[in-house]
Structure 1
Amino acid sequence: MSLPDTGAAARLAGVGTAVPDTSYSQRELLDLLAVTDPRVRSLFLNSAIERRGLTLPAAGPDGSRAVESQGALLRKHTEQGLLLGRRAVENCLADTGARPSDVRYLCCVTSTGFLTPGFSALLIKEMGLDVGCSRLDVVGMGCNAGLNALAAVTGWARAHPGELALLVCVEVCSAAYVFDGTMRSSVVNSLFGDGAAAVAVTAPRGGGPNAGGVPALLKFSSRIIPDAVDAMRYDWDEGHGKFSFWLDPQIPYVVGAHAEGALERLLHGTGLLASDIDHWVVHSGGKKVVDSVRVNLGLTRHDVRHTTGVLRDHGNLSSGSFLFSYQRLAAEGSVRPGDLGVLMTMGPGSTIEMALARW
């Protein structure tokens, strides 16, 4: 077995999450949106999702919800995203035992809206972070982007031993909804929830063994599927005058079919097999996606318990979903020194991202 040096690796030092104050069951959402189409109702009620945090427009006098313009959706993306992002960062710093002034690098990820300056600049101002803090905004990569950005944050942390970097995923998915009763929009509306997640990354000066039960990030890998480049999209919908998501029904099978190859690429040269992995932190992409990945990688339902638990309680939180699952794993207390873990996200491209971790 030939694993990268754990002592020199960057480590996940703390994690924090945040969801909106308002949440809805799937049945409540169907009633609020006055959905009567049996196909759409079945989509919502058979999604393996029980509740989701969402930021919906206020009800009018007749109980109906106002149709939000693209401008209103972008304002919601900014305002709610800043609120959730700040809460996630505060919770992450508390878990890490760090102060806002300790942050030297801030990377913010989002795919649910566009704004300039981005969340990194807004959070630095809002939270009083050091104005010399280096920053990066990753916009539009989709559900896989959390691991893409974590690779960049890890690289920065390794180049700056002893300094604190933060990754923040901010996804206000209700700022990207179109309500028109079609199956295209209903698939999206039945799946995504609002949420933010932050993780602290640091590489210790002089290396050394892991401490405090935090995992070292040893290796990252990417696998893009060019033939499925249009399978997941967020683009302009002329009919509605808004941006909207598009999810191809074949996504679960495309992702599942390439999952094994993606894992082989990650483990290449390490001497490890899938059976050597103790913990799996997989993006909560949807019931069919998770089932397809589980079957193709030979995982048990127990292996993906946190993935399905996050899906059940919050829906698909896009780029931050895997950090919600990681937080549950960390809180569970089942990890032992020397355990190996794989982090996995899937998204537009179509893309599968993976990272290998060791506690």
Structure 2
Amino acid sequence: MELLLIVSLVVALSYAFSCLIKSFLRRRDQCCYMLAYECYKPPEDTKLSTASCAQIVHRNKNLGLDEFRFLLKTIVSSGIGEETYCPKNVLEGREETPTLVDALAEMDEVIFTTLDNLFAKTKSFMSPSKIDILVVNVSLLSTAPSLTSRIVNRYKMRENVMSFNLSGMGCSASIVAIDLVQHLFKNHKNANAIVVSTESFGPNWYCGKEKSMMLSNCLFRSGGCSMLFTNNRSLKERAILQLKYLIRTHLGADDEAYQCCIQLEDDKGYQGFRLTKKLTKAASKALKLNLRVLVPKILPMREILRFSISNLRNKKRHSKTSGQSAMDQVSIGLNFRTGAEHFCIHPGGRAVIDGVGMSLGLSEFDLEPSRMALHRFGNTSAGGFWYVLGYMEAKKRLKRGDRILMMSFGAGFKCNNCLWEVMKNLEDVNVWEDCIDKYPPKTLVNPFMEKYSWINDDYLGFVRLER
């Protein structure tokens, strides 16, 4: 009897130990490493200078004096410089009559250029035939065959490649795509994944006069990025980043949040993207809910305890902050630098960067990469993160062991944030190679203000008569 009990105990302990080992190995294989990324730099002949921007504005016959004033004011305060890039059909004056050929040509240029460069950079250990997972996110274009199929056909990928085409996910789609890859890695060992993030702007240029829909023309610019990921631990030494945490928040059930950032047609039938004044409120609410989950994972316990004690002691004082904006009140008092050394805020616009920076108590040094990416490349939608990351790398800020907090907002309304750990010192000048030494400039002088601040009602009236 005693022998039977001993044998049973040994078997039970062996089984438990085996389960623990399997669990450990399973978790170990669920890692997500970024091996490389490649941002798109459009050709020089698509650069949107101050003059070309003015020409595009002037030829919109639907604009009146009030709309001209609004556009000038918006462009001047946008934080965008005059070295951003625009779709060819818009520069050529065909924004009102885009074709499917234009749309596909725009996508092929971004996607194939970045993928060609990515595979060239990693040719010593990676090739298209080794890709197991392919995810493409383009919110405003869905073709048949899909964009992923165009990539599979171009690079002759394997017949069992898992492809996913994401649309309608907005500016935070890049994080959504990475989350999908991370979940697939949990069930596929030693897998390699490609994520392509860009946006179709050419066929979606707004040609009407509604102010809330004209904003997108002022902010969005051509760009994109292709990224290579793996959970193969034998490639860990080649990794540049490791994903530590990723939290997604979705406010689609809230009608106000759902409507604040939406694609539709105006009363004249012009299709565009409407950004309402409720966007800031939706962003602050989504960010607050997201941080409730993310903060305990990324901040040390001592900082959370310090904040909790301080918050209790100053309850009375905090109750008097009702005059602050919703964004200001998201995380008063928490020191986010105890959980991350770098902050990669989606360069969606100056108001977004300022709001998140004030909310998290960040310095101008922390916000510099996002501000510079917005100034140089504009809002490139889901690809914007990687221009910010590229700036940090080109400035040699990223050292092994550093942590990067990425924060994004998108239509829906969504807030998707994640934390990365830097795996090695990063120093590639990448897409910033030709201009990194000029950034940051001493002052971000807006070229539109310099060249068009003299515009008055008499001039606008003359332009209207001319047209």
Task: Please give the range of the TM-score, normalised by the shorter of the 2 chains.
Answer: 0.7 to 0.9
Cα deviation 1:285-336 (Å, max 9, x = unaligned): 1111111111111112221222111111111111111122223333433222
Alignment partners' CA distance in 2, 1:96 and 1:159? 25
Partner of 2:135: 107
8 Å contact from structure 1 (residues 73, 176) kept in 2: no
8 Å contact from structure 2 (residues 30, 185) kept in 1: no
Q: Quick one: structure 1 residues 85 and 67, their matched pair in 2 at CA, closer, same or farther if it must change by over 3 Å?
A: closer
Cα deviation 1:254-295 (Å, max 9, x = unaligned): 324543442231132455362221111121111111111111
- Aligned ranges 1:76-115 → 2 under 5 Å: 76-97=102-123, 98-115=126-143
8 Å contact from structure 1 (residues 166, 200) kept in 2: yes
- Aligned ranges 1:238-253 → 2 under 5 Å: 239-240=268-269, 243-253=271-281
Q: Quick one: structure 1 residues 75 and 261, their matched pair in 2 at CA, closer, same or farther if it must change by over 3 Å?
A: same
2:276 partner amino acid: D
**In the alignment, is residue 120 of structure 1 matched against residue 144 of structure 2?**
no
Greater mean deviation of Cα atoms: 11-20 or 153-162: 153-162
Aligned-residue RMSD, C-alpha: 2.5
Alignment partners' CA distance in 2, 1:171 and 1:213? 27
Greater mean deviation of Cα atoms: 285-294 or 38-47: 38-47
Alignment partners' CA distance in 1, 2:29 and 2:393? 20
Partner of 2:89: 57
Q: Which has the higher strand share?
A: 1
Count of residue correspondences: 346
Q: Quick one: structure 1 residues 26 and 245, their matched pair in 2 at CA, closer, same or farther if it must change by over 3 Å?
A: farther
SS in 1 for 2:87: coil
2:143 partner amino acid: L
Match of 1:23 among 47, 50, 56: 47
**In the alignment, is residue 34 of structure 1 matched against residue 58 of structure 2?**
yes
**TM-score of the superposed pair, with normalisation by structure 2:** 0.68
Cα deviation 1:58-107 (Å, max 9, x = unaligned): 778xxxx24533xx354322221122111111222334443222222110
Alignment gaps of 5+ in structure 2 = 1-26, 60-64, 304-335, 423-467
8 Å contact from structure 2 (residues 95, 202) kept in 1: no
**In the alignment, is residue 160 of structure 1 matched against residue 191 of structure 2?**
no
1:203, CA displacement in angstroms?
Answer: 1.1
Match of 2:78 among 23, 44, 47: 47
8 Å contact from structure 1 (residues 8, 203) kept in 2: yes
Greater mean deviation of Cα atoms: 148-157 or 97-106: 97-106
Match of 1:264 among 279, 283, 292: 292
8 Å contact from structure 1 (residues 170, 196) kept in 2: yes
**In the alignment, is residue 231 of structure 1 matched against residue 221 of structure 2?**
no
**In the alignment, is residue 14 of structure 1 matched against residue 45 of structure 2?**
no
Match of 1:190 among 211, 218, 243: 218
Match of 2:398 among 335, 341, 349: 335
8 Å contact from structure 2 (residues 130, 192) kept in 1: yes
Alignment partners' CA distance in 1, 2:367 and 2:28? 25
8 Å contact from structure 1 (residues 14, 93) kept in 2: no
Partner of 1:305: 368
SS in 2 for 1:116: coil
1:228 partner amino acid: A
- Rg: which structure is higher? 2
SS in 2 for 1:44: helix
Structure having greater relative contact order (Cα 8 Å, sep ≥ 6): 1
Alignment partners' CA distance in 2, 1:295 and 1:58? 36
Alignment partners' CA distance in 2, 1:314 and 1:31? 20
Alignment partners' CA distance in 2, 1:346 and 1:334? 25
8 Å contact from structure 1 (residues 173, 194) kept in 2: yes
**TM-score of the superposed pair, with normalisation by structure 1:** 0.87
